[in-house]
A and B are shown apart, each in its own frame.
Chain A
Amino acid sequence: MTIETNVVAPPVVSAAPLPGKSGGNLLWLLNPRLGIGLAILLIMGVGSFILPMFAPVDPSIQASYMRNLPPSGIHLLGTNSLGQDIFWFLVFAVRNSLTLGVLVALGVTIIATAVGLSAGYIGGGFERVVMLVVDTFITVPLLPILIILGALIRGNTSFLSVGIIIVIFGWAWDARTVRAMALSLREREFINMARFSGANTVQVILREIFPYVSAYMVVGFINTVLFAINTEATLSVIGLSKVEVPTLGSIIFWALNYNALFTGQYVWLVAPIIATITLFLGLFLTSTGFNAAFASKRGVS
């Protein structure tokens, strides 16, 4: 759960602007890590979005099939104790988790960028108050709060509101990093230049600072996807999310709930574990790969 702590050392921002990406050719970005990461994400992403169209039945409906069938040609990974096809449940789980992750990351990135940039750029008392709130949100352990909320709204919640709650409690880390970058940019000559040329605060933030921070934001975005999927799954595993919706966490919740370990249904438990690790490794490699690529482009690797 320390997913976002790798942003503690913000990437160094060089004084020279990013060289233009020649003619839309993005090959300069590619390094082995990024390649492997993107390949994993592409396969899992495209697969989990296209395959559900061919699903014979909605896997979240219980008792569609015979219970506890072993893996076979019809049921690739067998069926579980609820009469659901494990393979299709897993495919839907990856899709739902990814969707949630991307939506939450969108929300978090918008809030974090707005808060971080304004705090770093405006400074003064405003910055001190904002940073105090940010530090509190970072310090306060998230899981107990989520458990209370989960216990209160359980059953009456939609999958979407789980996402919104994660956004409310997930923006602080990113805001801190964005602000650190904005701070280092604030003193740069070209910012003063724009200032003296008559640009107002909004223009400076949008035109001068934003292009610098955007490279980092890609990395931050992917890290937040990881964080969101992980948080929802964590809540699911302890039964406090919308466990009827297939996600990478809810599948494990049901497996543990029906004692898959004791009944010897390895597949029910091992399949989501492997899928989760692969997905997380893909996201992580993409994020560090991007970071390395941007760093080497700036000449600081």
Chain B
Amino acid sequence: MGVLAFVAKRIGIYFAVLFIGLTITFLLPRLMPINPVDGYIGQLQSRANGTMTAEAITELRSTLETLYGLKGDLFTQYVSYLKRIVFSFDFGPSFTYYPQPVSAMIFNALPWTLGLLLTATVIAWLLGNMVGLVAGYFHKKKAASILEFVGILLYPIPYYILAVSMLLLLAYIFPIFPLSATFPVGQMTPEKFGMVIYNSLLPGITLVLAGFGWNILSMKALAVATTEEAYVTYARLKGASNWTRMTRYVFRNALLPQVTALALSLGMVFNGALLTEMIFSYPGIGLIMRTAANGGDYNVLYGAITISIIAVATAGLVIDLLYPLLDPRIRHK
């Protein structure tokens, strides 16, 4: 399999995943016994003290169904749903912030989420792999097991516990960071930029800590296994220094499964980022989703989940396409 075949196959899978993902998003809410339109009408009816006439309700229902994309039978809905998303990226208007289009809301929030998530993931991945490499390469030394212990302690802690603990520790007991983050709006100035960084530090640290533990553990396991390989022994007999063996021999080989693992775990990393945003009131996709979920703003929810699926699938694709650069075996076949 050459590089071209590899890329073509991967892109094929990408579109299949997108298609299945979008179909699930479409079907799930429609299979649910609850109809958001009914809920919304009920809400309006109670606000109007039941004074709405039957005709008014029928009219309202048909307008709402058009807005939600619930007109026609399931297949017609499905086709128009795909058409709207693929060609015009249109999720309809938000109901809480009518008539603001959902896509605009999401595009405002996306840079926040991506900025925080990318920075935190890269830092966690690099740091975790370095610590894991050292712990694995020197796994016979006592000091290395301390490094692994850090991983064991950090890894099983769920995101939400980590986030709440960080809030408790660094914003309440030691008030280094603000309890609730404030983010300036409007034109970006150096001052405002500093504020954004300062307010993003706490959620950022939480995300790094959360990803850190797993990277240590899995890199350590891989490094231990790789250190036992014959080619590492050969390098030692050849007279290669400890540093060369660790970086050029063990790290390069142990890196490959770690890249694959990162691509596969992106969905979970993304989940964690959403949750972190909700707990820290960070103005990204996660916060939008939480507000929308509480206010029953379904168009926003569907838009956010569709973007999430596209974002995660695309990030996975990019990582996998970088793989041939790291693995010469794919390039030279």
Contact = CB atoms under 8 A, between A and B. Distances in A.
Contact of B218 (A5, A147, A261, A269): A5
B201 interface: no
Contact of A230 (B21, B158, B164, B214): B158
A249 B33 CA distance: 26
Contact of B260 (A2, A8, A149): A8
A110 interface: no
Contact of A276 (B158, B289, B305): B158
B158 A1 contact: yes
A261 B172 contact: yes
B28 A145 contact: yes
B270 interface: yes
B189 to A, nearest CB: 32
Contacts of B153: 281
B261 A5 contact: yes
A144 B305 contact: yes
B155 interface: yes
A9 B221 contact: yes
A6 interface: yes
A285 interface: yes
A138 interface: yes
Interface string B208-247: 0011001001100110000000000000000000000000
A143 interface: yes
Nearest to B296: A151
Given A149-B32, A273-B168, 6 more contacts: A2-B272, A5-B261, A9-B257, A142-B268, A273-B161, A284-B152
What 9 A-B pairs have minimum CB-CB distances, sorted nearest first?
A284-B156, A143-B271, A144-B305, A280-B156, A151-B293, A136-B20, A141-B267, A1-B268, A141-B270
22 contacts: A1-B158, A1-B159, A1-B268, A1-B269, A2-B265, A2-B269, A3-B156, A5-B261, A6-B217, A136-B16, A136-B20, A136-B24, A139-B21, A139-B266, A139-B313, A142-B271, A148-B305, A151-B292, A151-B296, A239-B294, A249-B160, A273-B165
Interface of B: 13, 16-17, 20-21, 24-25, 28-29, 32-34, 36, 152-153, 155-161, 164-165, 167-168, 172, 179, 210-211, 214, 217-218, 221-222, 257, 260-261, 264-272, 274-275, 278-279, 289-290, 292-294, 296, 298, 301-302, 304-305, 308-309, 312-313, 316
